[in-house]
A and B are shown apart, each in its own frame.
Chain A
Amino acid sequence: MLGYIFRRLAISIPTLLVLIVLSFVLMHAAPGGPFTSERPLPPEVLANIEAKYGLDKPLIAQIFNYIGGIVTSFDFGPSFKYKDRSVNDIIASGFPITLTYGFLSFIVAFVVGCALGVAAALKKNSWLDYFAVGISIGAQVLPNFVMAPILVIIFTLWLGWLPGGGWNNGHWANIIMPVIALSTSYMASIARLTRSSMLEVMNTNFIRTAQAKGLPAHVIVRKHALKPALLPVISYLGPTFVAMITGSVIVDVYFSTGGIGQAYVNSALTRDYAVMMGITILIGALTILFNLVVDILYAWIDPKIRY
Chain B
Amino acid sequence: MLNKNIFLSTVVGAALLSAPSFAAKMHPETGEKLADDQTFTYRLLDEHSSVDPQIVEDVSGSEVVRNLFEGLYNQDNYGNLVPGVALSHEVSADKQTYTFKLRQDAKWSDGKPVTAGDFVFAWQRASDPKTASPYAWYVELMSLENAKAIIDGEKTPSELGVKAIDDHTLEVKLSVPLPYFPLMTTHSTTFPSPKWAIDAHGADWTKPGNIVSNGAYVLSEHKPQEQAVLVRNENYWDNANTIIDKVVTLVINDENVALTRYKAGELDRTEVPAGQYPSLKEQYPDQAIAFPRLCNYYYTFNLSDSGPEFFKDVRVRKALAYSLDRNVITERVLQGGQFPAYTFTPAVTAGFEVPGVEYAGLSQKERDAKAMELMAEAGYSKDNPLKFNLVYNTSEGHKKIAIAMTQMWKQKLGVEVTMNNMEWKTFLNERGNQNFELARGAWCGDYNEASTFLDLLTTASGYNDGKYSNAEVDQLMADAKTADNAQPNYTRVEEIVAGEMPVIPIYHYTNVYMMDANLKNWPVENAEQNWYAKNLYKVAD
Contact = CB atoms under 8 A, between A and B. Distances in A.
A37 interface: yes
Contacts of B152: 44
A112 interface: no
B227 interface: yes
A52 interface: yes
Contacts of A266: 46
A85 interface: yes
A36 interface: yes
A259 B225 CA distance: 8
A254 interface: yes
Interface stretch (B80-88, B305-313, B426-434, B504-512): B426-434
B151 interface: yes
B189 to A, nearest CB: 12
Contacts of A17: none
Given A32-B429, A149-B257, A164-B260, A263 B225 contact: yes
A165 B148 CA distance: 46
A214 interface: no
A290 interface: no
Interface string B407-438: 00000000000000001111011101000000
B224 A93 contact: yes
Contact of B253 (A85, A94, A262): A262
B207 interface: yes
A256 B250 contact: yes
B424 to A, nearest CB: 7
B152 to A, nearest CB: 5
A35 B428 CA distance: 11
A40 B463 contact: yes
B151 A48 contact: yes
A300 interface: no
B140 A84 contact: no
A166 B260 contact: no
A92 to B, nearest CB: 10
Interface string A247-264: 000001110111100110
A211 to B, nearest CB: 53
B57 to A, nearest CB: 8
A254 B252 CA distance: 8
Contacts of A52: 130, 132
Interface stretch (B15-23, B47-55, B230-238, B383-391): B47-55
B132 A49 contact: yes
Given A49-B132, A157-B260, A164-B260, A36 B428 contact: yes
B261 interface: yes
A254 B132 contact: no
Contact of A48 (B46, B132, B426): B132
Contacts of B182: none
A256 B429 contact: no
B206 A45 contact: no
A283 to B, nearest CB: 18
B462 A256 contact: no
A257 B226 contact: yes
A261 B490 CA distance: 48
B223 interface: yes
Nearest to A162: B264
A165 B462 contact: no
A153 B260 contact: yes
Interface string B248-260: 0011111011001
Interface in A147-189: 149, 152-153, 156-157, 160, 163-167
A195 interface: no
Contacts of A78: 203
Interface in A245-290: 252-254, 256-259, 262-263, 266, 269-271
| Centre residue among A51, A82, A94 by max chain B CB count within 10 A | A82
A303 interface: no
Given A41-B137, A85-B224, A253-B254, A31 B426 contact: yes
B129 interface: yes
Given A32-B426, A82-B50, A94-B225, A44 B263 contact: no
B36 interface: no
Contact of B260 (A32, A41, A152): A152
B321 interface: no
Contacts of B52: 83-84
A85 B151 CA distance: 24
Residue among B55, B57, B130, B225 with max Cβ neighbours from chain A (10 Å): B225
A141 interface: no
B303 interface: no
Which among A35, A40, A160, A263 has the highest number of chain B CB atoms within 10 Å? A40
Nearest to B427: A32
A42 B150 CA distance: 14
B428 A44 contact: no
B136 interface: yes
B425 A271 contact: yes
Contact of A270 (B50, B425, B442): B425
Contacts of B206: 84
A90 interface: yes
Nearest to B423: A269
Contacts of B49: 81-83
B129 A51 contact: yes
Nearest to B154: A44
B379 interface: no
Given A82-B47, A93-B224, A152-B260, A166 B428 contact: no
B134 interface: yes
Given A49-B134, A270-B425, A164 B266 contact: yes
A40 B424 CA distance: 13
B55 A83 contact: yes
Contacts of A152: 257, 260-261
Interface in B440-493: 442-443, 462-463
Contacts of B137: 41-42, 45
A153 B425 CA distance: 34
Nearest to A37: B428
A270 B58 CA distance: 13
Given A42-B462, A85-B224, A165-B257, A51 B429 contact: no
Given A44-B148, A84-B207, A165-B257, A39 B224 contact: no
A30 interface: yes
Contacts of B223: 93, 167, 258
B227 A166 contact: yes
B190 to A, nearest CB: 16
A51 to B, nearest CB: 7
Contacts of B425: 30-33, 36, 269-271
A164 B261 contact: yes
Given A48-B153, A84-B52, 5 more contacts: A36-B428, A164-B260, A167-B223, A258-B224, A266-B46
Interface of A: 30-33, 35-42, 44-45, 48-49, 51-53, 78, 81-85, 89-90, 93-94, 149, 152-153, 156-157, 160, 163-167, 252-254, 256-259, 262-263, 266, 269-271
Interface of B: 46-47, 49-52, 55, 57, 129-130, 132-134, 136-137, 140, 148, 151-153, 203-204, 206-207, 223-227, 250-254, 256-257, 260-261, 263-264, 266, 423-426, 428-430, 432, 442-443, 462-463
25 contacts: A31-B425, A32-B426, A38-B428, A40-B428, A44-B148, A45-B136, A48-B136, A48-B151, A53-B132, A84-B51, A84-B204, A93-B224, A94-B224, A149-B256, A149-B260, A166-B227, A167-B223, A252-B225, A252-B253, A256-B225, A256-B226, A256-B251, A259-B225, A263-B225, A271-B425
